[in-house]
Amino acid sequence: MVGDFIHAVSAVLLIFCMMAVGYVLGHLGWLTSSEKRFISRFVVNIAVPMNCITGVLNNLDREEVAGAGRMLAVPLLSILLTLGISLAAARYLRLPKSRFGVFVAMAFLSNTLFIGLPMSTQLFGEVSVPFVMMYYMVSTIFTQSLGVLLVEYSGPGSPARFSVTGLLRELVTKPPILGVIAAFTCLFLNYRPPELFMSFAKYMSGTVTPLALMYCGFIVYELGPSRIRFEKGHPLMLAIRLVLSPAICYVLCRVFGVQGLAADVFVIEAALPVVSQIPVMAGAYGADEEYAAIGACLSMLGIFITIPVIMMIL
């Protein structure tokens, strides 16, 4: 039990070390607003699509996905229920448009791959990877489709209301969404791209986690540590993201009979902080990136408490 607690704290500390790099680079003047703009464009339009392709094709196979059935129902329903609660909470708070979609995206989406994969492997070992990827398979569809649209909705150039036509147009034009579509199309057609391309995609996808977390660290530097404080909606977002989401997942695991390592991994994946690319997307689409960055930072601070406690419970 003590060992699990130490492993959980170590995994969280690793995340903060990468954020600290961005903060220090900003302090030294090596990272400025120009480089920040490049990072946001690179991560959203190149690195994330490549990450989707390598994450799916290297860790899943068609038979495994086809036989997942009951297990896949847990993350799917868990995310949908959390989404419904997050939308209701955002309406209750009457958040401005620049924060509405950002709040919902932060509250209902967890960082299942960039943080979840290293954390789960540290906590449970490499044997947890298939279960991480099952959760990721469901989560990434929401992250790269609805998550992207919610953040863009909070930007100044988006329409005031969603439309079915607009949604379909977005689904076939955004690079992250195209990455998801390409990955699962290759998976179900049992086609693997040439190794040259897969090697390229692997190198590109490997930049997502450090760059996204460095980006968050730089935004913290721009804000100044004194400005990292709760703003309207942050406490409720943290309660949904770090407490309610894993609780819902835990109950669904019991309902669907998912037990053992699979259940433990699913609960941890549901309890992770805000997706680190949300502040990046907020900056790219003109939404309130400071609100997103503060929320991401607070959620990462929060898992210092929640993840060790969850591990003690599990």
> What's this model's pTM, rounded to 2 decimal places?
0.75
Strands (E), 95-169: none
Residue 88, Cβ density class (10 Å: 0-12 exposed, 13-18 middle, ≥19 buried) = exposed
Where is 148: in which H helix or E strand?
Answer: helix 148-153
DSSP bridge pairs for 274? 110
Helix axes 33-42, 208-223, angle to 10 degrees: 150
- The one-digit pLDDT tens for each residue of the chain (314 residues) are 666 667 667 777 887 888 889 999 999 999 888 888 888 788 878 887 888 788 778 877 777 666 666 788 899 999 999 999 999 999 999 888 888 989 999 999 998 866 777 777 777 876 777 778 778 878 877 887 788 888 887 777 655 454 556 556 655 677 877 887 788 888 888 888 999 999 999 899 888 778 877 887 887 787 777 777 888 889 999 999 999 999 999 999 999 888 888 899 899 999 998 987 788 788 878 888 888 888 988 888 888 888 888 888 87
CB 265 within 8 A of CB 124: yes
As a whole number of angstroms, the distance between CA 75 and CA 68 comes to 11
286: region left, alpha or beta (phi > 0 left; psi from -120 to 50 alpha): left
Structural domains in the chain? Answer: 2-313 (1.20.1530.20)
As a whole number of angstroms, the distance between CA 296 and CA 276 comes to 7
Tokens of 164: 């079915």
Our measurement of the distance from residue 66's CA atom to the centroid of its chain's CA atoms, rounded to an integer in Å, reads: 24
